[in-house]
Structure 1
Amino acid sequence: MRNYFPKIFLYILGLFFLLNLLQAWSTQLIFDEAYYWYYAREISWGYFDHPPMVAWLIALGQLFFEGELGVRFLSCILGIGTMAVLWLLVDDPKKKDYIPHFFVLIASMTLVHAYGFLMLPDTPLLFFTALFFLVYKRFLASPGVQTAILLGLVMAALMYSKYHAFLVIFFVFLSNPGLIRERHAWLAVLISLTAYSPHLMWLYDNHFVSVRYHLFERPNRPYEFFDFTAGYFINLIAIFGLTFYWIYRATFKTPSRDLFTKALLFVSIGILLFFFISSFQRRVQTQWIIVICIPMAVLAYRYMLNHESARKWIFRMGLVNICILMFLRIGLVFEPLFPVVYETHGNRTWVKKITSRAGDIPVVFENSYRMAPMFEFYTGIPSFSLNNAWYRENQYSIDASENRVRNKKVLYVSRYLPGGDISFTMPDSTLFYGVYMDPFRSYRKLRTEIIDMTGTEAGERFAFEVRNPYSFGVPISELKFGLETLDRYKQILKVIPLTVVPGETPLPLLPPGARITLFANFPSDLEEEAAFVKVVISENGLRWGLNGKRKAIE
């Protein structure tokens, strides 16, 4: 191992590992981690928002440790693994003379630093991107069956981490079109598709719910230059902090002298351009572009080794970055040091406020796939996120968690209630109320679809279908129907209650697996800006659900 990793390198790497373990153990979960912990409660080939890799890693980590460290243990392993693979990607013999510079460069990258201990989908994405480049580099040097199999498995692992990984694979291929004539490359693709096929089958069985949400159903809003495009450039700076100028300079100054360097450049610049174009359609989140850190770290370190000025400035500014990041890391645990209230602050406190009043009865959170798993993580008490028309679908919409709270006494928690049996404030001072419901009955998986709509004039009749996917009958008398209107950005405008007329054979009970056709008239107060409509359901007085399939107004 010393031939690849000098002793001082291993010492520093071990120091990072111990630091990340300590941070992982001492820091309360952030909401997304709690959500992915909830994924891991039931191992599957897929989940609503993401492929399953993050859930698999959490489940594996919990075999070794409990609590927060169990959730994050594998992130600590992958964090140092990413650093080690990045080191192997640089061939320059001078690198052994500048080991501290390497660690300063990598540890100064904001999200790479964070993903060394936080367990999020981007954590395995970064590791497998680095590993993909390493295997691809060896494939270029010596294409063969073994490297093709390994390359295919790593590509599958990439795609199991996050759907954005497709961009990495695509731009690497674009950098080397000659791969299309390489039979071992096709073997790698075949291996990758075979390994990834269980997730593809999961998507098929779940009506491609993840693809539909990310590509077609995610709400948007009108274009705003400062929030969309200008915000995108701010994200590009935030990823690298004070070293951003020299890292981008290193990328754009590097010539594509060989196929591997060309791949690094194509992925870096290709992803930058892809999300720049995307910024004219929607707001680009910082983590969407995090994958550029892998190829750009390699390019920047190479550049540092051969340009003294860049080496000095990246080292100096990187140290400042690290000092700021270390201060913030301490603030994740010791709240007074952090400049704002953050997600790791006070979770045990607000959870205790609820259990001190409600005991161990299940808790239903309105519109919060974040609070529901956080509550369950710290209490072990069943919880559920009841999603309505003003929110979005998530894992709670497609799994069986609703069964754990239906027909039971629950505490229903919402920030929209005017009052309640209990109240509590979150660390950010948001006030929540809770009311007891006994029994709680929801049927959020009921689906509706408008099947006959000739026009939207007031009073014009239309037909819609209601489908019951449950294994039990649903009383029609417990349901009310509404017409939800949305603008062209898929933002909800309002819900208008409908008076429905049953078909020829009114049913008091919608049998399991059955469909019923109902009729209603279009209301007179349809907004001019309405571009889509769908039928939604309120069961037992709950707020309107997310039941309907959207239909465009022609």
Structure 2
Amino acid sequence: MFKKIPRQFYYFLAAFFVLNLLQSVFTELIFDEAYYWYYSQNMDWGYFDHPPMVALLIKGSSLFFNGELGVRFVSCIISALNFVVLWLLIDHPKKNLYVPHFFVLVFSMTLLNAYGFFTLPDTPLLFFTSCFLLSYKYFLKSPKFGTAIILGIFMAALMYSKYHAVLVIMFVLLSNLNLVKNKYAWLSVIVALMCYAPHFYWLYENDFVSIKYHLYERPNDAYQFEKYTLGFFVNLIALFGLTFPFIYYALFKTKSRDLFNKALLFLTYGVILFFFLSSFNRRVQTQWIIVICIPLVVIVYNFMLGNKPILKWIMRLGIVNSLIILYLRIGLVYQPILFNFYYESHGNKAWVEAIYKEVGDIPMVFENSYRNAPMYEFYSGGIPTFSLNNVMYRKNQYSIDNSEERVRGKKVAYISKYISDNTFSHTKPDGGILKGKYISEFSSYRKLECILEEDKVSLGNSNYHLKVINPYDFDIDISKLKFSIAYLSPYKITLGLKPVEPRPMKDSLQILAKNDSIDFSLDIPDYDKEKVGYIRVVISENGLYPGLNGKPTPIQ
């Protein structure tokens, strides 16, 4: 199979790989990469936001290198391998004569280019989408035990990369419903489920926290055509830059010739349609639709080779795209002179060094920043950090792991916009101000859980049943806890707080015992009913801003 690949292909591939290695070394981490690096410090079968594949890539990279390359090395490898798999997906008899055209096409796709070195969940998603499609292609030719096993493994690898992978599998299945009658296709499903069983078990053990967050608890806002639906179409253009008219023209003109080509079309149109409909409910991020780049490389390249005018235009505009991308890639390392924009890969070492000079080796607590906390830990050489998430923010990996215990009872440097008596501050390159102070003995109880027994509540009503659960292995003095009702908009954005005093259903309770719970009677104060869609019960401990203890409960 690999002997059919021309030598010229390997020259281009080597150049692409070396470019990504150099980019990885000289580009500081972006915030999401730092967050996923934090994942990799405690390997598990799942994490709050994503399945574990991105953490596995980083852990693998760290076996070979330190620093940024220790986060990105495996991403560089699988991105190069992805080009090989894409090439193998193409059957056009003249493809060996047009190797440069293939690399111009793929290099000019903006995010496909960026994920050549960034280590994000979409990096393995793209690679395993290509592998899944290649294994499906061979499965169609020879549905037997071996190809079914391989197909199932790649289905699981897709799902371990990102939950969006279910769309890839679903639309390929919809393109060939006869698969439901194929025993080898069922074998693939069984293999995939067996491989994915550890993550299912992790979800069960963690109360399906990832699914609940993505489906029910993410904050949103009111529909805006420009931000949502128009933004979705802008993202479709941004994926391909100047070549976008010819990319979509090739897609529109390509007809289903066989089952594999039909799968590519179903996958592309299916993802576009799914996120178009989603755009009427929430803002669609560009990377959510990036997976269409994989089938479109195959569709467009095949179309190019049979249509000389389109070939010429994609080459011309693709080269311009590539030059712009190269300039932007240099801009990731150095702030560009021509367009003086700040990006999150600029200045992270500098602000971490400045804070470190101020606070030294003591642990850091960042309020409402799962971005700054891991970035500081990475560039400070492993100083323990914790993201203290309050009711104005959202839950994340720091809400479910053991990081709170790394700072409990210790002197910490506490950085938050909610403090006014700061003793030090630093202005970041993006203009953000980090205000900090020292806390001699830090203690938070962010895992305390508040459960309203009622499915819906009415504002201004009394005697609701509240259960407060202490999951810690130590007792908590109830006098240290201050309760409030957080009022949320219909889009689960916190509008305001009102203090409340729940009444214990048993008299004289002063201690919330370890691994135990207490039942309270709770009155819910009135608020502006025109705005409130949900409430949640929250707790402030030791003078800290209230946390995210209760789940959003609808107003009836």
Instruction: Give TM class, smaller chain.
Output: over 0.9
Output the amino acid matched with 1:173. L
- Pair 1:400–1:47, CA change in 2 (3 A): same
Q: Secondary structure at the match of 2:535?
A: strand
* Residues 374-406 of structure 1: CA deviation (Å, up to 9, x unaligned): 000011100010000010000000000000001
CA distance in 1 between counterparts of 2:456 and 2:237 reads 51
Aligned 1:241-256 pairs, distance under 5 A: 241-256=241-256
CA distance in 2 between counterparts of 1:251 and 1:74 reads 32
Deviation at 1:419, TM superposition (A): 4.4
* Structure 1 runs, 4 residues or longer, greater than 4 Å off: 452-455
- Pair 1:440–1:340, CA change in 2 (3 A): same
- Which residue of 1 is the match for residue 428 of structure 2? 426
* Residues 75-111 of structure 1: CA deviation (Å, up to 9, x unaligned): 1001111111110011112111110000000000000
Give the stretch that moved more between structures: 405-414 or 511-520: 511-520
Q: Is 2:540–2:547's contact at 8 Å kept on the other side of the alignment?
A: yes
Q: Is 1:449–1:466's contact at 8 Å kept on the other side of the alignment?
A: yes
Q: Secondary structure at the match of 2:60?
A: helix
* Residues 193-221 of structure 1: CA deviation (Å, up to 9, x unaligned): 00000000000110110000111111111
Deviation at 1:528, TM superposition (A): 3.1
Q: Are positions 1:15 and 2:15 aligned together? A: yes
Q: Is 1:478–1:540's contact at 8 Å kept on the other side of the alignment?
A: yes
Q: Are positions 1:374 and 2:375 aligned together? A: yes
Give the stretch that moved more between structures: 262-271 or 431-440: 431-440
Q: Is 1:449–1:534's contact at 8 Å kept on the other side of the alignment?
A: no
- Which residue of 1 is the match for residue 225 of structure 2? 225
Output the amino acid matched with 2:64. F
Identity %: 56
- Which residue of 1 is the match for residue 536 of structure 2? 534
Deviation at 1:517, TM superposition (A): 1.0
Q: Secondary structure at the match of 1:44?
A: coil
Q: 2:385 aligns with which of 363, 383, 394?
A: 383
Q: Secondary structure at the match of 1:335?
A: coil
Q: Are positions 1:461 and 2:450 aligned together? A: no
- Which residue of 1 is the match for residue 90 of structure 2? 90
Q: Secondary structure at the match of 1:300?
A: helix
Q: Are positions 1:550 and 2:537 aligned together? A: no
Q: Is 2:459–2:527's contact at 8 Å kept on the other side of the alignment?
A: no
- Which residue of 2 is the match for residue 116 of structure 1? 116
CA distance in 2 between counterparts of 1:168 and 1:107 reads 22
CA distance in 1 between counterparts of 2:463 and 2:528 reads 14
The TM-score with structure 1 as length reference comes to 0.98
Deviation at 1:37, TM superposition (A): 0.1
Deviation at 1:438, TM superposition (A): 1.1
CA distance in 2 between counterparts of 1:123 and 1:520 reads 47
Deviation at 1:167, TM superposition (A): 0.3
CA distance in 2 between counterparts of 1:33 and 1:2 reads 33
* Residues 508-529 of structure 1: CA deviation (Å, up to 9, x unaligned): 2211111101223222445432
- Which residue of 2 is the match for residue 175 of structure 1? 175
CA distance in 1 between counterparts of 2:404 and 2:551 reads 21
Q: Is 2:455–2:554's contact at 8 Å kept on the other side of the alignment?
A: no
* Residues 424-456 of structure 1: CA deviation (Å, up to 9, x unaligned): 011111112101111111000000011258863
Q: Secondary structure at the match of 1:549?
A: coil
Q: Secondary structure at the match of 1:506?
A: coil
Output the amino acid matched with 1:485. Y
Q: Is 2:457–2:554's contact at 8 Å kept on the other side of the alignment?
A: no
- Which residue of 1 is the match for residue 482 of structure 2? 480
- Which residue of 1 is the match for residue 322 of structure 2? 322
- Pair 1:228–1:457, CA change in 2 (3 A): closer
Q: Are positions 1:59 and 2:62 aligned together? A: no
- Pair 1:2–1:525, CA change in 2 (3 A): closer
Q: Is 2:492–2:534's contact at 8 Å kept on the other side of the alignment?
A: yes
- Which residue of 1 is the match for residue 34 of structure 2? 34
* Residues 133-168 of structure 1: CA deviation (Å, up to 9, x unaligned): 100000000110000000000000000000000000
Q: Secondary structure at the match of 1:420?
A: coil
Q: Secondary structure at the match of 1:39?
A: helix
Output the amino acid matched with 1:103. F
Q: Is 1:4–1:88's contact at 8 Å kept on the other side of the alignment?
A: no
Q: Are positions 1:133 and 2:133 aligned together? A: yes
Q: Secondary structure at the match of 2:68?
A: helix
Deviation at 1:2, TM superposition (A): 5.8
Q: Is 1:171–1:263's contact at 8 Å kept on the other side of the alignment?
A: yes
- Pair 1:521–1:453, CA change in 2 (3 A): farther
- Which residue of 1 is the match for residue 504 of structure 2? 502
- Pair 1:12–1:453, CA change in 2 (3 A): closer
CA distance in 2 between counterparts of 1:49 and 1:476 reads 32
- Which residue of 2 is the match for residue 165 of structure 1? 165
CA distance in 2 between counterparts of 1:419 and 1:296 reads 55
Output the amino acid matched with 2:387. S
Output the amino acid matched with 2:447. K
CA distance in 1 between counterparts of 2:457 and 2:200 reads 38
CA distance in 2 between counterparts of 1:112 and 1:2 reads 23
- Which residue of 1 is the match for residue 311 of structure 2? 311
CA distance in 1 between counterparts of 2:453 and 2:543 reads 26
Q: Secondary structure at the match of 1:255?
A: coil
* Residues 241-274 of structure 1: CA deviation (Å, up to 9, x unaligned): 0011111111111110100000000000000000
Q: Secondary structure at the match of 2:474?
A: coil
- Pair 1:11–1:455, CA change in 2 (3 A): closer
Q: Secondary structure at the match of 2:196?
A: helix
- Pair 1:96–1:457, CA change in 2 (3 A): closer
Output the amino acid matched with 1:269. Y
CA distance in 2 between counterparts of 1:2 and 1:461 reads 71
Q: Secondary structure at the match of 2:425?
A: strand
Q: Is 1:453–1:463's contact at 8 Å kept on the other side of the alignment?
A: no
CA distance in 1 between counterparts of 2:529 and 2:411 reads 39
Q: Secondary structure at the match of 1:408?
A: coil
CA distance in 2 between counterparts of 1:128 and 1:455 reads 45
- Which residue of 2 is the match for residue 445 of structure 1? 447
Output the amino acid matched with 2:67. G
- Pair 1:439–1:261, CA change in 2 (3 A): same
CA distance in 1 between counterparts of 2:307 and 2:157 reads 35
Paired residues in the alignment total 554
Q: Secondary structure at the match of 2:4?
A: coil
CA distance in 1 between counterparts of 2:2 and 2:155 reads 28
CA distance in 2 between counterparts of 1:488 and 1:124 reads 35
Output the amino acid matched with 1:345. H
Output the amino acid matched with 1:330. I
- Which residue of 2 is the match for residue 265 of structure 1? 265
Deviation at 1:459, TM superposition (A): 5.9
Q: Secondary structure at the match of 1:67?
A: coil
Q: Are positions 1:235 and 2:241 aligned together? A: no
Deviation at 1:52, TM superposition (A): 0.2
Output the amino acid matched with 1:422. F
- Which residue of 2 is the match for residue 333 of structure 1? 333
CA distance in 2 between counterparts of 1:301 and 1:454 reads 54
CA distance in 1 between counterparts of 2:456 and 2:120 reads 46
Output the amino acid matched with 2:243. T
Deviation at 1:115, TM superposition (A): 0.4
Deviation at 1:477, TM superposition (A): 1.2
The TM-score with structure 2 as length reference comes to 0.98
